Amino acid sequence: MSRPKPQKRATVHDIAAAAGVSRGTVSRVLNGGYVSAEARAAIEAAITDVGYVPNNAARTLKMRRSQAVAFVALEPHSLFLDDPNIGAIMLGANAALSLADHQMVSLVVESARDTERVARYLSGGFVDGAIVVSARTRDPIIKVIADLRIPAAFVGHPPELSDSIPFVGIDNVGSARSITARLAASGRRRIGMIAAALDRDSGLDRLTGFKNALGTEFDPSLVADVPHYDYGSGVKGMRLLLEREPAIDGVFAASDAIAAGALEALREAGRSVPGDVGVVGFDDSTWAVRCQPQLSTVHQPAKELGSFAAQLVLRQLAGEQVEHHGELLDTPIIWRDSA
Amino acid sequence: MSRPKPQKRATVHDIAAAAGVSRGTVSRVLNGGYVSAEARAAIEAAITDVGYVPNNAARTLKMRRSQAVAFVALEPHSLFLDDPNIGAIMLGANAALSLADHQMVSLVVESARDTERVARYLSGGFVDGAIVVSARTRDPIIKVIADLRIPAAFVGHPPELSDSIPFVGIDNVGSARSITARLAASGRRRIGMIAAALDRDSGLDRLTGFKNALGTEFDPSLVADVPHYDYGSGVKGMRLLLEREPAIDGVFAASDAIAAGALEALREAGRSVPGDVGVVGFDDSTWAVRCQPQLSTVHQPAKELGSFAAQLVLRQLAGEQVEHHGELLDTPIIWRDSA
DNA sequence: TCCTACTGTGTGCACGTTCACACAACCGTA
DNA sequence: TACGGTTGTGTGAACGTGCACACAGTAGGA
DSSP helix/strand/coil, A313? helix
What pLDDT shows up at residue B6? Answer: 40
Q: Are B128 and B317 in contact (CB under 8 A)?
A: yes
Q: Do B134 and B192 sit in the same domain of this protein?
A: no
In a domain, B336, yes or no: no
Looking at residue B100, its amino acid is: A
Closest CB from B57, B91, B108 relative to A110: B91
- Rounded to whole angstroms, the distance from the CA of residue B53 to the C1' of nucleotide C22 is 29
Residue A107: its H or E element: strand A103-109
- Using a CB–CB cutoff of 8 Å, tell me whether A63 touches chain B: no
Q: Which residues contact B70 (CB under 8 A, 6 or more apart)?
A: B104, B105, B106, B107, B121, B122, B127, B129, B130, B131
What pLDDT shows up at residue A147? Answer: 75
The rounded average pLDDT for each run of 10 residues, N- to C-terminus, in chain B (339 residues) is 53 92 92 89 92 91 92 72 76 91 87 83 88 75 79 79 80 96 95 92 92 96 92 94 97 95 94 96 88 93 94 91 82 95
What pLDDT shows up at residue A50? Answer: 87
Q: Which residues contact B24 (CB under 8 A, 6 or more apart)?
A: none
Q: Do A231 and A202 sit in the same domain of this protein?
A: yes
Residue A71: its H or E element: strand A68-74
- Using a CB–CB cutoff of 8 Å, tell me whether A327 touches chain B: no
More confident of the two residues A123 and B187: B187
What pLDDT shows up at residue B147? Answer: 75
Closest CA to A227 of A260, A199, A261: A199
Mean of all residue pLDDT scores within chain A: 88
Looking at residue A207, its amino acid is: L
Q: Do A162 and A307 sit in the same domain of this protein?
A: yes
Residue A15 neighbours by CB distance under 10 Å: 25
Pairwise CA distance, residues B309 & A238, whole Å: 40
What pLDDT shows up at residue B193? Answer: 98
Q: Do A308 and A194 sit in the same domain of this protein?
A: no
- Rounded to whole angstroms, the distance from the CA of residue A35 to the C1' of nucleotide D29 is 27
Q: Are A299 and A179 in contact (CB under 8 A)?
A: no
- Rounded to whole angstroms, the distance from the CA of residue B161 to the C1' of nucleotide C9 is 43
In a domain, A337, yes or no: no
What pLDDT shows up at residue A260? Answer: 93
- Using a CB–CB cutoff of 8 Å, tell me whether B91 touches chain A: yes
More confident of the two residues A318 and B209: B209
In terms of C-beta density within 10 A (0-12 exposed, 13-18 middle, 19 or more buried), how is residue A8 classed? exposed
Q: Do A111 and A149 sit in the same domain of this protein?
A: yes
Residue of A nearest to B230 (CA): A286
Integer angstrom CA distances of residue B77 from A43, A326, B54, B302: 39, 28, 36, 18
Pairwise CA distance, residues A15 & A42, whole Å: 9
Closest CB from A5, A126, A290 relative to B126: A126
Closest CA to B220 of B248, B250, B178, B192: B192
Question: Which site among A1, A47, A48, A60 would you substitute to test the B interface, given the most B Cβ atoms closer than 10 Å to its Cβ?
Answer: A60
Per-residue pLDDT, averaged over A282-310, amounts to 92
What pLDDT shows up at residue A255? Answer: 93
Looking at residue B78, its amino acid is: S
In a domain, B94, yes or no: yes
Q: Which residues contact A36 (CB under 8 A, 6 or more apart)?
A: none
DSSP A114-154: HHHHHHHHHHTTS-SEEEEES--TT-HHHHHHHHHT--EEE
Q: Do B83 and B125 sit in the same domain of this protein?
A: yes
Q: Are A158 and A173 in contact (CB under 8 A)?
A: no
What pLDDT shows up at residue B115? Answer: 85
Q: How far apart are the first and last CA of chain A?
A: 64
Q: Would the CB atoms of B124 and A87 count as touching at under 8 Å?
A: no
Give the domain CATH number at A240. Answer: 3.40.50.2300
**CB of A29 within 7 Å of some strand C atom:** no
The model carries a pTM of 0.85
In a domain, B294, yes or no: yes
Pairwise CA distance, residues A207 & A173, whole Å: 8
How many structural domains compose chain B? 3
| Whether the predicted pLDDT of A1 surpasses 60 | no
DSSP helix/strand/coil, A158? coil
Give the model confidence (pLDDT) of A68-104 as tens digits.
999 998 866 655 556 667 888 988 999 999 889 898 9
Residue of A nearest to B315 (CA): A4
Domain encompassing residue A33: 12-54
- Rounded to whole angstroms, the distance from the CA of residue B111 to the C1' of nucleotide D5 is 63
- Using a CB–CB cutoff of 8 Å, tell me whether A247 touches chain B: no
Closest CA to B139 of B157, B124, B121: B157
Pairwise CA distance, residues B245 & B224, whole Å: 11
What pLDDT shows up at residue A226? Answer: 95
Residue A328: its H or E element: strand A327-329
Residue of B nearest to A319 (CA): B4
Give the model confidence (pLDDT) of A249-292 as tens digits.
999 999 999 999 999 999 999 999 999 999 999 999 888 988 88
Residues 123-152 in B contacting A (C-alpha not used; CB under 8 Å)? 123-126, 147, 149, 151
- Using a CB–CB cutoff of 8 Å, tell me whether A91 touches chain B: yes
In a domain, A3, yes or no: no
What pLDDT shows up at residue B323? Answer: 72
Q: Which residues in chain A are closer than 8 Å to B59, comparing Cβ atoms? A: 124
Q: Do B128 and B110 sit in the same domain of this protein?
A: yes
Closest CB from B77, B103, B124 relative to A53: B124
Q: Which residues contact A260 (CB under 8 A, 6 or more apart)?
A: A231, A234, A281, A287, A290, A291, A295, B290
Beta strand B297-298 pairing with B278-280: unpaired
Q: Would the CB atoms of B90 and A80 count as touching at under 8 Å?
A: yes
Q: Do A176 and A292 sit in the same domain of this protein?
A: yes
In a domain, B320, yes or no: yes
Integer angstrom CA distances of residue A163 from A142, A159, A173, A324, A326: 11, 8, 20, 7, 10
| Residue A7 confidence class, pLDDT cut points 50, 70, 90 | low
Q: Do B72 and B45 sit in the same domain of this protein?
A: no
Cα angle for residues B25, B29, B31 (degrees, 5° grid): 110
Q: Would the CB atoms of B53 and A123 count as touching at under 8 Å?
A: yes
Q: Would the CB atoms of A106 and B108 count as touching at under 8 Å?
A: yes
Q: How far is CA A323 from the centre of its chain?
A: 20
Integer angstrom CA distances of residue A263 from A144, A148, A247, A258, B217: 41, 45, 16, 9, 40
Q: Would the CB atoms of B80 and A68 count as touching at under 8 Å?
A: no
DSSP A191-246: EEEEEE-TTSHHHHHHHHHHHHHHGGG--GGGEEEESSSSHHHHHHHHHHHHHH-T
Closest CB from A81, A94, A126 relative to B56: A126
Closest CA to B43 of B62, B66, B18, B78: B18
Residue nearest D6 (alpha carbon to C1'): B34
Pairwise CA distance, residues A83 & B163, whole Å: 37
- Give percent helix, percent strand, percent coil of chain A, each to the nearest 5: 50, 15, 35
DSSP helix/strand/coil, A6? coil
What pLDDT shows up at residue B160? Answer: 63
Work out whether the CA dihedral A125, A129, A133, A134 comes out positive or negative.
Answer: positive
Q: Do B236 and B254 sit in the same domain of this protein?
A: yes
- Using a CB–CB cutoff of 8 Å, tell me whether A324 touches chain B: no
Residue nearest D16 (alpha carbon to C1'): A58
In a domain, B254, yes or no: yes
Q: Do A178 and A289 sit in the same domain of this protein?
A: yes
Q: Do B185 and B280 sit in the same domain of this protein?
A: yes
% of residues, chain A, pLDDT over 90: 59
In a domain, A4, yes or no: no
Residue nearest C6 (alpha carbon to C1'): A34
Closest CB from A6, A125, A317 relative to B4: A317
Q: Are B91 and B57 in contact (CB under 8 A)?
A: no
What pLDDT shows up at residue B3? Answer: 39
Integer angstrom CA distances of residue A78 from A172, A282, B81: 19, 16, 15
Give the model confidence (pLDDT) of A134-175 as tens digits.
766 667 778 778 777 889 999 986 666 557 788 899 999 999
Cα angle for residues B124, B130, B132 (degrees, 5° grid): 125
